[in-house]
Structure 1
Amino acid sequence: MSSAQRRSLPVKKRDHTFEQYRRNLFSDLEKSCGWTPTLPAAVPRPSGPGLWMTEYTTWFPQVHRWLEESQREFSRDLALLHDGLFELEPLESFGFAPGQSFFEGIRKRMHRLSEDLDQYLGEAQERSGEVMQVDDAGAVVGQPTAAAGEFGFLTDAYEVGPDGRLMFKARFNTKGFDAGDISVSTEDKKLVVHAKKTENKDGAICSREYCRSIFLPEAVERKDFQANLTTTAEDGCKSLRWFNSF
């Protein structure tokens, strides 16, 4: 793919913390899907932005129960989300050849993994309908978070968005970097997060440069991506959240 086909998107810094984002997500779902903690067993017809879900008699009850579970297990889920952040890697670990451009090095690295991706996606396709499951009691059953190799995150790469639609998401640990230090782009099947910070300490120039790239499923619409930078209240860890709905 040529550089003209590469898409760069802005990183937006959010004033609220990651914890507040999760609470806002629940609140938005309550509004768009017509959910409240005191709803009867019968599932109501959603209105407004959630109206599209009237066609999905199976999906909406699962969203309803997922909300109840998530509200109840808020602290536990936050810990799991924090543990699942992608860590940025020092640029020198990529093994770039002398004179090789940044994006050319990334392209070659990702190409070496493309055959593994095709194999993994072929196996995962059989599980594509199992993003959310319901147990005998009607509760949403989470999918495994650990899977083989570079593509394990694909088994846990989706969550319900504010409008009740399923969203692809990826979260990166960007502690130590501000929004202006981070560039995000998509190219072909990959998402690239590049962070660089240069500081002057006692007259000496100190530069840190990190990168992380992941594969994107074919169903994900690149043009709809958003990148938001938030901070966790517990330890100040900055999380870059990259997501879209489909």
Structure 2
Amino acid sequence: MAEEKGGRVIPIIPDPRTLEQRKKDMVHNLEKKHGGKAGEKKKSQAPMRSHSVDWDDEVKRWIDDTHKLWADDMNRMNNGLLWLVPCDEYDLDPMQMFSPLGMFGPGGDIPSILNKMDRQMQALSQMITDQPVISGVFGTLAPQESAHPLDFLKDIYELDEDGKVHFKVRFNAQGYRPEDIQVSASQNRLTVHAKKCSETGTSKASSEFCRTIYLPPTVDVDKFQCHLTNDGILMVEAPVKDPNYQALTFDKERQLGVRPSSAPPISPPPNQKAIVLKPTGKYGATVVQDGNQKRFHVEFPVEAGFDPNNMCVRVESNQIVVSGKHEVTEGSGANKCVTLKEFTRKYAVPETVDPLSVHAQLFNNVMVVEAPMIHPKSK
């Protein structure tokens, strides 16, 4: 990855495969390493040091569900594509986008990044409104993005063929070649800038499109890779820093969530600060101050019988969603009755949180969830 003025430019590698074929190959390679059903072990397979046995089961379940719901996954991937927007409408100096520092400075000022994302979402909203006019310019896909600029965070963490969690974002770059695009990353942000020039007779024309997104601190910016598929999808990926695999799970839509613990961890993963959760006795959602950082704190009672292994905490736009289920068996023989009990609680978050930053713990029958909040936008 090249260095430029304190930032990093990510080389773009052409990929002759389509987005779907690339996903098929990834799942195939992952399955070769983690074959079998959840709960089963290959005799020749030694456990991975960085993964727990529970995580190996999670990977196998993810593979099984992906095969069963392939069409749904592909629809979600296509609908979740990020779109580039015209630079000249929303940048004071569009050429600054060629500098990895851009207008944000070396520290990656988060309020400025979020304000930038808001302006680009406004541009995208206008593009969607004008879609009948511009459909021939932006390829065969239509923008489907959420109106919330940070909604993409709920889908950015996916498995890769190494069986580990990676940060993955995809941009619609139909009509562009690798040499037309520059991708740069620095602290807290990723920027894609595309420029195309055309010449007809004596006239010349150029168009510039760009997109900036917030990067969570969990992303290893030194290990980004970028590929442009045969069907025009720009894929930007990087591993995440030392996730706690013992606490990770996937919901029914293969979105990453956190499994609550029933006891505090003996030691945090390397390079991570130990998080100590404590019940306050006040049910509901509150914001607590932790030094210079604000943390979103949720606390509520849980009915007896719910096991942390069958519970999941995930982030959905500006909500923290906690769900759980367990079976209750009554009677026996011909009078045996099995009832499935489920619950879902949703709490609005004043500021979006990174799904990998969520911590949850069950204290007897009290659930406690906390997560650091992403800085608010500047006014």
The reply to whether TM is greater than 0.5 is: yes
Match of 2:69 in 1: 73
Give the structure, 1 or 2, with the largest relative contact order (CA under 8 Å, sep 6 or more): 1
CA distance in 2, matches of 1:14, 1:46: 35
Deviations 1:25-77 (CA, angstroms, capped at 9, x unpaired): 111111122x14xx4x63215867x8426841221111111111111111221
Given the alignment of the two structures, is residue 91 of structure 1 paired with residue 92 of structure 2, yes or no? no
Q: Alpha-carbon deviation of 1:200?
A: 0.8
Q: Find the residue that maps to 1:177 and give its secondary structure.
A: coil
CA distance in 2, matches of 1:160, 1:19: 15
Match of 1:135 in 2: none
Match of 2:132 in 1: none
Residue ranges of structure 1 left out of the alignment (5+ in a row): 118-145, 233-237
Q: Is the 1:192–1:214 Cα contact (8 Å) retained in structure 2?
A: yes
Cα separation, partners in 2 of 1:57 and 1:240, compared to 1, 3 Å: same
CA distance in 2, matches of 1:161, 1:84: 18
CA distance in 2, matches of 1:20, 1:230: 10
AA paired with 1:44?
K
Match of 2:272 in 1: none
Residue ranges of structure 2 left out of the alignment (5+ in a row): 116-144, 241-379
Match of 1:59 in 2: 55
Match of 1:29 in 2: 30
Q: Alpha-carbon deviation of 1:11?
A: 0.3
Q: Is the 1:191–1:213 Cα contact (8 Å) retained in structure 2?
A: yes
Asked which structure has the greater CA Rg, the reply is 2
Match of 1:18 in 2: 19
CA distance in 1, matches of 2:148, 2:10: 28
Cα separation, partners in 2 of 1:95 and 1:63, compared to 1, 3 Å: same
Deviations 1:1-21 (CA, angstroms, capped at 9, x unpaired): x96320011100101111111
Would you tell me which structure has more strand in proportion to its own residues? 2
Match of 1:215 in 2: 214
Match of 2:239 in 1: 245
Q: Is the 2:110–2:188 Cα contact (8 Å) retained in structure 1?
A: no
Match of 1:162 in 2: 161
Q: Is the 2:194–2:208 Cα contact (8 Å) retained in structure 1?
A: yes
RMSD of equivalent CA atoms: 2.9
Cα separation, partners in 2 of 1:231 and 1:15, compared to 1, 3 Å: closer
CA distance in 2, matches of 1:114, 1:175: 28
Q: Is the 1:158–1:169 Cα contact (8 Å) retained in structure 2?
A: yes
Matches within 5 A, 1:58-207: 58-96=54-92, 101-102=96-97, 103=99, 106-107=103-104, 111=109, 113-114=111-112, 149-207=148-206
AA paired with 1:242?
V
CA distance in 2, matches of 1:25, 1:77: 14
TM-score where L is the length of structure 2 = 0.49
Identity %: 28
Q: Is the 1:46–1:53 Cα contact (8 Å) retained in structure 2?
A: no
TM-score where L is the length of structure 1 = 0.74
CA distance in 1, matches of 2:237, 2:43: 24
CA distance in 1, matches of 2:43, 2:12: 32
Deviations 1:209-240 (CA, angstroms, capped at 9, x unpaired): 110010101011111110011134xxxxx111
Q: Alpha-carbon deviation of 1:93?
A: 2.1
